[in-house]
Amino acid sequence: MSHSMSNLLSVKGLGLSFSEKGPDFLRDVNFDLNKGETLCIVGESGCGKSLTALSLMGLLAPSLSRRVKGELSFEGQSLRFQDQKKLQQMRGGRLSMIFQEPMTSLNPSFRIGDQISEAWQCHHGAGGRERALEMLERVGIPDAKSRMNDYPHQLSGGMRQRVMIAMALVNNPSLVIADEPTTALDVTVQSQILKLMNDMQKTLNMGIILITHDLGVVAQVATRVAVMYAGEVVEHASAEAIFNDPQHPYTIGLIASVPPISGPRERLTVIPGRVPLPGSLGKGCRFAGRCPFATEICQTDPPVQLMEGSHFVRCHHAPIENMKESAA
């Protein structure tokens, strides 16, 4: 937070439906991020975190990308999500992505040095190999020079994820989206990778969008947090506010379900019920089926996003005092 507070990214009204006439699954997704900061997107599996990330990268399947709505502004430049051409130009350069599965995200047929170097060369032309070597050293690959010639199958999962990070950061991006980068790795490697990303963020002053369902991770790294539920951002605020003053019933449930720091960390399944599938979204609040505070209006009308300062909540009964009243 010592960095300048200038805006790096803001997403406005991102929406996406899976079919021509179908309802939007991603609906009115909004969030902001400043330079050098970390935004965590949290939520149960299936709530649309990856879809949001892929929309930002312009990496949705063509059949889907045609239907993305909304606008974004990135480094002061604003464009529409449908502008695939512009997204492609930014992709891998100023804006890059790290994926969940290090085992399958690298091409098995090419040497890792070449794969990283290609990422540099397609934005800058020559000089990729020196740059790739430099990056491999920076992400802590031992004996980087000879590792340049390795194929992905010769590396462990943690090493592959380091290679992915090297590839994503080779062009000094100002924003990196990491979609559950440590979910597939074991716990000790997880914290190494998170530390690496944290270090790289400091040296490169880049913004990170970290997608995770691990609130422990969020507590460690987030500057801002967007809580997603069934395709919507239900609460968006500073990390501090999310943990100390959660306003949305879903967020409250999530935080309550986190085991103590010392205990084992499990997936977030403590809130009774399940996330509604994209095909079975009601017309009211999408959380109504699981919400202990739900009332009549929650079943019939979708709540809009309310703002108090820079704290956004999508609930009819926010702030929390109202809910307690109505529950009583």
Partner 1 sequence: MLRFFLRRLLVAIPTIILISIFVFMLQKLLPGDPVLAMAGEDRDPETLARLRAKYRLNDPLFVQYWTWITGVLQGDFGNSIRTGEPIAKLIGQKLPVTLQLAAMSMFFATLIGIPMGIISAVKKGTKTDFAANVVALSGLSIPNFWLGIMMILLVSVHWQLLPASGYVPPTEDLGQSLRTMLMPAFVLGTGLAAALMRHTRSAMLEVLRQDYVRTARAKGLIERRVVLKHAFRNALTPIVTLLALLFGELVAGAVLTEQIFTIPGFGKLIVDAVFNRDYAVVQGVVLVTAFGFILMNLLADMAYMLLNPRLRKN
Ligand X SMILES: Nc1ncnc2c1ncn2[C@@H]1O[C@H](COP(=O)(O)OP(=O)(O)O)[C@@H](O)[C@H]1O
Residues 45-64 that bind partner 1 (CB under 8 A): 57, 59
**Binding-site partner at residue 288 among ligand SF4, partner 1, ligand X, none, CB < 5 to 8 Å by type:** ligand SF4
Q: Which of residues 128, 278, 289, 303 is near ligand X by CB under 6 A?
A: 278
Residues 59-88 that bind ligand X (CB under 6 A): 64
Count of residues that interact with ligand X, criterion CB under 6 A = 13
Tokens of 294: 């739900």
Q: Which residue is nearest to ligand X (CB)?
A: 50
Is-contact 229 275, C-beta < 8 A?
Answer: yes
Q: Which of residues 56, 167, 218, 291 is near ligand SF4 by CB under 6 A?
A: 291
Q: Which amino acid is at 199?
A: D
Report the distance separating Cα 268 and Cα 181, nearest Å: 18
Can you tell me which residue has the tokens 């369902």?
Answer: 213
Nearest approach, Cβ of residue 72 and partner 1 (Å): 17
Residues 95-134 that bind ligand X (CB under 6 A): none
Q: Using the rule CB under 6 A, is 303 a contact of ligand SF4?
A: yes
Helices 112-124/128-138 angle, 10° precision: 120
Report the distance separating Cα 104 and Cα 11, nearest Å: 29
The answer for residues whose C-beta is within 8 angstroms of residue 89's C-beta and 6 or more apart is none
- Phi first, then psi, for residue 30 (nearest 5°) are -130, 135
Nearest approach, Cβ of residue 268 and Mg ion (Å): 14
Q: Which of residues 8, 9, 42, 51 is near ligand X by CB under 6 A?
A: 51
Residues 7-46 that bind ligand X (CB under 6 A): 18, 25, 43, 45-46
Report the distance separating Cα 227 and Cα 252, nearest Å: 11
**Binding-site partner at residue 294 among Mg ion, ligand X, ligand SF4, none, CB < 5 to 8 Å by type:** ligand SF4
Name which of 169, 188, 190 is nearest 102 in CA terms.
190
x/- map, 30-69, Mg ion, by CB under 5 A? --------------------x-------------------
**Binding-site partner at residue 91 among ligand X, partner 1, ligand SF4, none, CB < 5 to 8 Å by type:** partner 1
Tokens of 226: 């967007």
Q: Where are the beta strands (DSSP E) in the chain?
A: 7-17, 24-34, 38-42, 69-74, 77-80, 95-98, 175-179, 207-212, 224-229, 232-238, 305-308, 311-314
**Binding-site partner at residue 96 among partner 1, ligand SF4, Mg ion, none, CB < 5 to 8 Å by type:** partner 1
Pairing of strands 224-229, 232-238: antiparallel
Per-residue CA distances from 71 to 13, 30, 74, 174 (Å):
7, 10, 10, 19
Q: Using the rule CB under 6 A, is 48 a contact of ligand X?
A: yes
Is-contact 87 80, C-beta < 8 A?
Answer: no
Q: Using the rule CB under 8 A, is 93 a contact of partner 1?
A: yes
Nearest approach, Cβ of residue 97 and partner 1 (Å): 5
Q: Which of residues 31, 99, 287, 312 is near ligand SF4 by CB under 6 A?
A: 287
Residues forming the site for Mg ion (CB under 5 A)? 50
Give residues in contact with ligand SF4 (CB under 6 A): 249, 285, 287-288, 291, 293-294, 298, 303, 315-317
Question: Which residues of this chain interact with partner 1, rule CB under 8 A?
Answer: 57, 59, 88-93, 96-97, 99, 101, 104-110, 118-119, 122-123, 151, 153-154, 164, 167-168
List of residues contacting ligand X (CB under 6 A): 18, 25, 43, 45-51, 64, 277-278
